[in-house]
Structure 1
Amino acid sequence: MSLKVAHKKKPKVAFHTLGCKLNFSETSTIARGFVQEGFERVDFGESADIYVINTCSVTENADKRFKTIVKQAQKSNPEAFVAAIGCYAQLKPRELADVHGVDLVLGATEKFKLLDYINDLSKNDYGQVHSCEINEADFYVGSYAIGDRTRAFLKVQDGCDYKCTYCTIPLARGISRSDTLENVLNNAAEIASKDIKEIVLTGVNVGDYGKGEFGNKKHEHTFLDLVKALDEVPGIHRLRISSIEPNLLKNETIDFVARSNSFVPHFHIPLQSGSDALLKRMKRRYLTPLYTERVARIREVMPDACIGVDVIVGFPGETEEHFLETYNYLNELDISYLHVFTYSERDNTEAASMSDPVPKKIRSKRSRMLRGLSVKKRRAFYESQLGTSRTVLFEGENKSGYIHGFTENYVKVRMPWDPALVNTLHQVQLSEIDEEGFVRFELLREAGVG
């Protein structure tokens, strides 16, 4: 590459990722490609020759943060080459290219070819755009994130065939398609060989795994096939399923996780609304009775499982009665925490043109109420775990003099910083909840073998 000739020393590249675990896995894969081509990867806050921003467009806030991140890059090095990739780059390429300082914008099919578009490190007079029609995003690129954390995010699936009325993801990522089972298992084995203790399965719609595995819509394998095969990969201590749709989380999968070698008792299941009328308006593929059944099944076979819930407040047409229906449903449901999203209008979605928008002040009020409910739910779940013996995986970051970790069922613990504990598994007994909501514990023994 000509940029290598132009630089006697290694050119430096920095990455910033917005959004989901899937974006992190793809950023990590792209970054490894740069390193293999002779670049030095540095932190985003350092001076670099190239800054790559992997964008997200799930929330309005993620869109707005982009300009701030570009300014941060320019402050570190005004002459640096700035590239934008990811979901927002596919949805609004010209909008990103017009941001001062942006040199290159790559859409859904081009982002993995970023190196091919960088012929030198000179800044452009204007942002160049290389995007595609989203129906061209019909091939699969495998990814996984390692090196930044004690866990790895392993991408197994991409795209979505659902038509939820609020969601831009099908427009940004294309149709549902899957990695081959063989490739997933090879990536998992490679991750395990690097002494990473936990793998999180990620994708746009992971429960749809198997669709498009060999370029067709037929399911060669199911999500349950994937889970069973991964459970047999040697050297993996923990496997965790990221968000999975309730209609795709089958009882057979729940039952298998309950008796598996490596899968942990933690599920994150999007609900979005506790009102069946709104679920229909959102074009979700289930109603609350099915969701209730899924939670009950998990509690039946894994009483101590952690169950997280996604919920949207302020969706068009959400009356006070609808909201209270959601609040009361969640209050009575045996779940562990909530991820609360305040609805924001997204271009080119059906919901954006729906009647009866909810005033933003009311959206904010409802969001605060559900966030408060989440605090209550998490506290109750943590209290239910006190006195139990769990295994903690300790993180690698020193946060204000503390080391943090998570139990297999996602209880967050902390203790004074001890670098010897980083990336180790220890058996602990959970004892009390401190003033900041973390759980204290007694170390029993190391549990790193297995």
Structure 2
Amino acid sequence: MPNPKVAFYTLGCKLNFSETSTISRSFENDGYEKVEFHETADVYVINTCSVTENADKRFKSIVKQAQKTNEDAFVIGIGCYAQLQPEELAAVDGVDLVLGATEKFKVTQYINDLSKNETSEVHSCEIDEANFYVGSYSIGDRTRAFLKVQDGCDYKCTYCTIPLARGISRSDTLKNVLKNAAEIAAQDIKEIVLTGVNIGDYGKGEFGNKKHEHTFLELVKALDEVEGIERLRISSIEPNLLKNETIDFVGDSKCFVPHFHIPLQSGSNEMLKLMRRRYQRELYVDRVQQIKKQMPDACIGVDVIVGFPGETEAHFLETYQFLNELNISYLHVFTYSERPNTLAAEMNGVVSKKQRKKRSKLLRGLSAKKRRAFYESQLGKTKTVLFEAENKEGYIHGFTKNYVKVIHPWNPNFVNQLLDVKLEEIDETGMVKAKILSQVTELV
């Protein structure tokens, strides 16, 4: 009898991707064969996100997609939405099993047989029970891996459901992070991206232990010494937790790249206070200046929310002007959406959907302008690019250390290679054409 087949679909953040990858390996260890989501499988696992309303809606369409491929398949919903709204997921036609924050890592233990359930089974803990740590990393492609180092969050931002979905802040042990990093390096993966919910808070132990066993700086220093890793990238870090010592170390490190993604959310101190963020805009300016002083070519990405309750036109223009004048490289723009059980959902001063959409469009335009200006500042320079495996319409893509996206006519010999290039011009799609300077070994 052939092994049962399992397929996975991941919504949301890099952290979700790292966890899906770890969960998929547990299936393979239990004798399942992993296939692509568009292929026929006996089990479909959908790892959900609930940061925005749109992610909730997408779940239904992905379930339909799975049913279209195999109407008899066993469908499982896991992840943040599954923790926050398990009954809502269970009510979706075709869903057999819903697992919450702690249960998702034992998913195979909840599958007795693969016959469809008449009604969905739900196993979802109280979030207070999510007080232990499960390490994970993704190795979906040969080029880079997402390595989870921390989970949960102790912050109380008024718009955010993540503490409700993932529990308290807790971290992997330094020993286990280094072990996972060494395992990744052994598979000829050139780049590791550090992920977590609030990675700057790294070091808090399990069971609500607020004491930091190690600091984020100690983690960064230890990872920089792991043999076989070419590049290390910090995915996203709160401005108040990004210390000068970390910035200085990254600037001089062997492996860490000059790329930072720092959530801002608003350029108005009044809005930051309403959001219960732990800094003011002046600190953010200081972080950007410190990075650029140490690493003039550094890429800095910014998260920003538009349409938060109470955001007037004046507040929005304050944010726009603040970002326009700041030496940053691109924006991730989030249109505010009301999430159940958050303080923001009960606030006055609701911004109309039309205004939210308009403000989002304006900031996306600013992001395109910022990215273009950053790319233009890099033209003529020699950089190292790590090329990826996908052939997109006859082209291969890759990223420099400082996150400039490079395009070159397809060459299979470039895949997973670090090559020196000269950045020459920006093409019509907004990517940078480059001249290869390295000698390339032909594939055997």
> Which TM-score band applies after superposition, normalised by the shorter structure?
over 0.9
Count of paired positions:
441
> Any stretches of 5+ residues in structure 1 without a counterpart?
1-7
AA aligned to 2:252 is: R
Distance 1:237 1:447, change over 3 A: farther
Is 1:139 the counterpart of 2:132? The answer is: yes
CA contact (8 A) 2:169 2:208 kept: no
The CA deviation string for residues 242-277 of structure 1, in whole angstroms up to 9 with x for no partner, is 010000000000000000000000000000000000
Find 1:65's aligned residue among 58, 72, 77. 58
- What's 2:158 paired with? 165
- In the aligned structure 1, how far is the partner of 2:266 from the partner of 2:218? 30
Alpha carbon RMSD of aligned pairs, Å?
1.0
AA aligned to 1:10 is: N
- In the aligned structure 1, how far is the partner of 2:27 from the partner of 2:110? 12
Distance 1:395 1:341, change over 3 A: same
Is 1:277 the counterpart of 2:270? The answer is: yes
Task: Specify the SS of the correspondent of 1:54.
Answer: strand
- What's 2:178 paired with? 185
The CA deviation string for residues 374-400 of structure 1, in whole angstroms up to 9 with x for no partner, is 000000000000011100000111112
Distance 1:319 1:242, change over 3 A: same
- In the aligned structure 1, how far is the partner of 2:143 from the partner of 2:45? 23
- What's 1:174 paired with? 167
AA aligned to 1:310 is: D
Q: How does 1:40-439 map onto structure 2 within 5 Å?
A: 40-212=33-205, 216-439=209-432
- What's 1:5 paired with? none
The CA deviation string for residues 382-420 of structure 1, in whole angstroms up to 9 with x for no partner, is 000001110000011111221100000000011111111
CA contact (8 A) 2:131 2:206 kept: no
CA contact (8 A) 1:210 1:219 kept: yes
CA contact (8 A) 2:132 2:207 kept: no
AA aligned to 2:325 is: E
AA aligned to 2:62 is: I
- In the aligned structure 2, how far is the partner of 1:446 from the partner of 1:325? 49
- What's 1:3 paired with? none
Moved more, 31-40 or 252-261: 31-40
Task: Specify the SS of the correspondent of 1:147.
Answer: coil
- In the aligned structure 2, how far is the partner of 1:127 from the partner of 1:422? 43
- In the aligned structure 2, how far is the partner of 1:215 from the partner of 1:234? 33
- In the aligned structure 2, how far is the partner of 1:50 from the partner of 1:35? 12
The CA deviation string for residues 266-304 of structure 1, in whole angstroms up to 9 with x for no partner, is 000000000000000000000000000000000000000
- In the aligned structure 2, how far is the partner of 1:188 from the partner of 1:446? 28
Task: Specify the SS of the correspondent of 1:445.
Answer: coil
TM-score norm. by structure 1 comes to 0.97
CA contact (8 A) 2:133 2:171 kept: yes
Task: Specify the SS of the correspondent of 2:158.
Answer: coil
> Any stretches of 5+ residues in structure 2 without a counterpart?
none
- In the aligned structure 2, how far is the partner of 1:214 from the partner of 1:180? 13
CA contact (8 A) 1:87 1:169 kept: yes
- In the aligned structure 1, how far is the partner of 2:19 from the partner of 2:301? 24
- In the aligned structure 2, how far is the partner of 1:27 from the partner of 1:291? 33
- In the aligned structure 2, how far is the partner of 1:214 from the partner of 1:135? 10
CA contact (8 A) 2:41 2:70 kept: yes
- In the aligned structure 2, how far is the partner of 1:164 from the partner of 1:276? 14
Distance 1:136 1:213, change over 3 A: closer
CA contact (8 A) 1:197 1:237 kept: yes
Task: Specify the SS of the correspondent of 1:247.
Answer: helix
The CA deviation string for residues 28-77 of structure 1, in whole angstroms up to 9 with x for no partner, is 00001111111100000000000000000001111100000000000000
TM-score norm. by structure 2 comes to 0.98
Q: How does 1:15-30 map onto structure 2 within 5 Å?
A: 15-30=8-23
Runs of 4+ in structure 1 off by over 3 angstroms are none
CA contact (8 A) 1:424 1:446 kept: no
Moved more, 211-220 or 92-101: 211-220
- In the aligned structure 2, how far is the partner of 1:441 from the partner of 1:80? 46
- In the aligned structure 1, how far is the partner of 2:389 from the partner of 2:274? 43
Is 1:36 the counterpart of 2:26? The answer is: no
CA contact (8 A) 1:272 1:279 kept: yes
CA contact (8 A) 1:237 1:262 kept: yes
Alpha-carbon distance, 1:214 to partner: 8.0
Distance 1:190 1:447, change over 3 A: farther
AA aligned to 2:167 is: G
Task: Specify the SS of the correspondent of 1:312.
Answer: strand
Task: Specify the SS of the correspondent of 2:272.
Answer: helix
The CA deviation string for residues 200-238 of structure 1, in whole angstroms up to 9 with x for no partner, is 000000000001268622111000000000000010000
Alpha-carbon distance, 1:446 to partner: 4.9
AA aligned to 1:136 is: E
CA contact (8 A) 1:213 1:220 kept: no
Moved more, 31-40 or 321-330: 31-40
Task: Specify the SS of the correspondent of 2:303.
Answer: strand
CA contact (8 A) 1:391 1:447 kept: no
Task: Specify the SS of the correspondent of 1:346.
Answer: coil
Alpha-carbon distance, 1:149 to partner: 4.9
Alpha-carbon distance, 1:178 to partner: 0.1
CA contact (8 A) 1:432 1:440 kept: yes
CA contact (8 A) 2:388 2:397 kept: yes
- In the aligned structure 1, how far is the partner of 2:175 from the partner of 2:304? 35
- In the aligned structure 2, how far is the partner of 1:77 from the partner of 1:352? 39
